[in-house]
Structure 1
Amino acid sequence: MIPEQAGATVLVLGDINADLSFIVPSFPDEGGDISAERLRWHSGGTGLNSAIAFSRLGAQVALLGRIGHDPAAEVVQATARKAGLDLRWVQTDSEVATGLCGVIISPGGQRTFVSFRGANLRYQGEALPTHLLDTCGLLFLCAHALLEGSQQYAALKLAQLAVERALPVALDLCLPAIRLARDLLFAMLPQLWLLTMNEDELRALLPGMSLQQALDHLLQHGVAHVVIKRGAQGCSIAERSGRLDVLPPAIKVVDTNGCGDAFAAAYAWAYLRGAEMRECATLANTMGALTATRSGAADAIPTRSELAMRLTYGLHYLLAPVSSGI
């Protein structure tokens, strides 16, 4: 639960990106030239998506990351400020551009991505605001931050300092981290208060194991609480005291971009506030599902009022803002 002296501040370290979507009549051949029917700018990146989800739920959020000095930075900053994020510790890179994801969307809704992580990789760990760890309730790491560069150093350093302070550390996995930093991930497991991932990530992390075998393995290796995101099947939860499967609400899916980030943040927030497993799962499933009902990533994450309309009154306490400790 939230330490009384720490308030509700959450530190989030992860990628900050702009998404540039091209809606096209057909997917071009290599070397081809087609005209897009529509063009959309969105904000995205696992760090920004997660931070906005926490903020929408009532947390005070300090976002840690690095952007460039370019039009993409203006897009993500506008979204972050509108969400009320604390951007004092977002660094600006004068040499490398803001992370950018180009998305080509064909008529059937199929998305093809070209991503540039850019300034994210150059987040400077030497300038970490470590004093924030003394005044917050949770360190939330997005696994892209573990891939490479000085961003990786910063993530590992923050996790180490958080553990020394008995501060909860949550990690939301991604496939690239499993492929490129597998040994590092397993070394971190005993430090984790919460680990979230989807089914594809679980299969990549522990190939050949059933869901239950994989959950057993993770708990045996020191993770306190594991949550598997299962899309239309909701989620599966495991801790030493029990297991639980919870179905999501029925919705019409428009765009699944950002759903996993919203889910992970919502589960961590509910768990931090002392909610029971089923309550945590219900909030997270609803947050992820509503994000899927509209286009975009960070911009698609639902507000507290939208969540309140879909949740029973008994869960509204999870949507009440909590004053900051910073």
Structure 2
Amino acid sequence: MMQQTSAGKIIVVGSSNTDMVIKTTHLPLPGETILGGTFFMNAGGKGANQAVAAARLKGNVAFIGKVGNDMFGEQARELFQKEGIDVSGVVTDAQHPSGVALITVDEKGENCIAVASGANANLLKKDIQFFEQQIQQATIILMQLETPLETIEHVAGVASSAGVSVILNPAPAARLTNDLLSNVAIITPNQTEAEILTGIAVTDMSSAEQAAIILCEKGIETVIITMGAKGAFLYTGGKGELIASEKVIAVDATAAGDVFNGALAVALSENRTIRDAVVFACKAAAISVTRLGAQSSAPYRNEINIDQ
């Protein structure tokens, strides 16, 4: 059972993957074998990335997800525990392996990625029923789109009906039902995802506001469109504002959006205003792009001053 504390509880429902990366001189052509590449493994998956980011920022975090009965699943569980994340919602799937991503990266930073979702794709409504009470007692539910949409819709409905705020990071990009969107309090698409959801190409503040209005008309209270180095466009209460990102020298943008979402959830769980929460999230994401890797790039709380 998930432990409740006086701090606002964040429950992340989502994916956990192991990224297996080979750095090569160039991306292989069909049938080509390239020798001499450098191999390394990273913990990944948008759900896991966001949970780790929130935990490092002193959030009270629990993770609900599914892993295989294999070494990757064991490693993921151990990593979550090391980060102080409640793992009582991590289900072991006896039939499906843990999710993995095979990534090839060339000298220019271009990549090709193949993902085997494995147990992530088998996180079902029947698994969620064991955690519904915890979901109803949470402060914030944070989700993405790397697990079945039917499960995401179910969790959002359970949470929303209990008055729990649902943050949805609609990534990877997909079209979503109005039933799901009506149960979401805050949605955090990037520019590409916002365009897929609304049909509006988001290039500046004006187009960001057009897209945000369309999303709010579907029942969402707050829209935050992340805009890379520009920062994030916040639209709530009928008003829009661009929150600028701090200027940094970017090294690797991997998981910057995940860090943003984890940080946003932490600030809101501490009863910060939505504007202050977006400022905090922008600061965390800016730090993350100055470092290599996904979870390894997530900053710690002592690196960010939320009150500045």
TM-score relative to the length of structure 2: 0.90
Residue 190 of structure 1 and its aligned partner are, at CA, apart by 2.2
Determine helix, strand or coil for the equivalent of 1:279. helix
- Rounded to whole Å, the distance in 1 between the matches of 2:273 and 2:89 is 33
User: Is residue 219–residue 240 contact of structure 1 (8 Å, CA) maintained in 2?
Assistant: no
The answer to whether the Cα contact below 8 Å between 2:183 and 2:219 also exists between their aligned partners in 1 is yes
Compute the displacement of 1:96 (Å). 1.4
Query: What amino acid does structure 1 have at the position aligned with 2:32?
Result: G
Instruction: Select 1:196's aligned residue among 166, 180, 188.
Output: 188
TM-score of the two chains, using structure 1 as the length reference? 0.85
1:207 maps to: 199
**Which residue does 1:89 correspond to in 2?**
89
Alignment coverage as a number of residue pairs: 298
Q: Distance in 2 between matches of 1:162 and 1:92?
A: 23
Alignment check: 8 A CA contact 2:136 2:158 kept: no
Tell whether the 8 Å contact from 2:200 to 2:210 is kept in structure 1 after alignment: no
C-alpha contact (below 8 Å) 1:248/1:286 kept by paired residues: yes
1:320 is aligned to none
Query: In structure 1, what is the equivalent of residue 164 of structure 2?
Result: 167
Q: Is the 8 A contact 1:6 1:137 kept in 2?
A: no
Q: Tell me if the contact between 2:200 and 2:211 (Cα under 8 Å) persists in the aligned partners.
A: no
Residue of structure 2 equivalent to 1:324: none
Alignment check: 8 A CA contact 2:120 2:146 kept: no
| 8 A contact 1:270–1:283 mirrored in 2 | yes
Q: Is the 8 A contact 1:249 1:285 kept in 2?
A: yes
Counterpart-to-counterpart distance in 1, 2:28 and 2:182: 47
- Does the 8 Å CA contact 2:7/2:269 hold for their aligned counterparts? no
CA contact (8 A) 1:15 1:120 kept: yes
CA distance in 2, matches of 1:138, 1:276: 14
Do residues 258 (structure 1) and 255 (structure 2) align?
yes
Give the equivalent residue in structure 1 for 2:101.
101
Determine if the alignment matches structure 1 residue 20 to structure 2 residue 12: no
How far the C-alpha of 1:29 sits from its partner, in A, is 1.3
Give the C-alpha shift of residue 30 in structure 1.
0.9
Pick which of 226-235 and 293-302 moved more: 293-302
Measured after TM superposition, the shift of residue 127 of structure 1 is 3.3
Other-structure match for 2:30: 30
Q: Deviations over 1:76-108 (max 9, x none)?
A: 233212211111111111221111111111001
C-alpha root-mean-square deviation of aligned residues, in Å?
Answer: 2.0
Higher relative contact order (CA 8 A, sep 6+): 1
CA-CA distance at 1:36 after TM superposition: 4.1
Structure 2 residue 118 is matched with structure 1 residue 121: no
The structure with the greater share of residues assigned to helix is 1
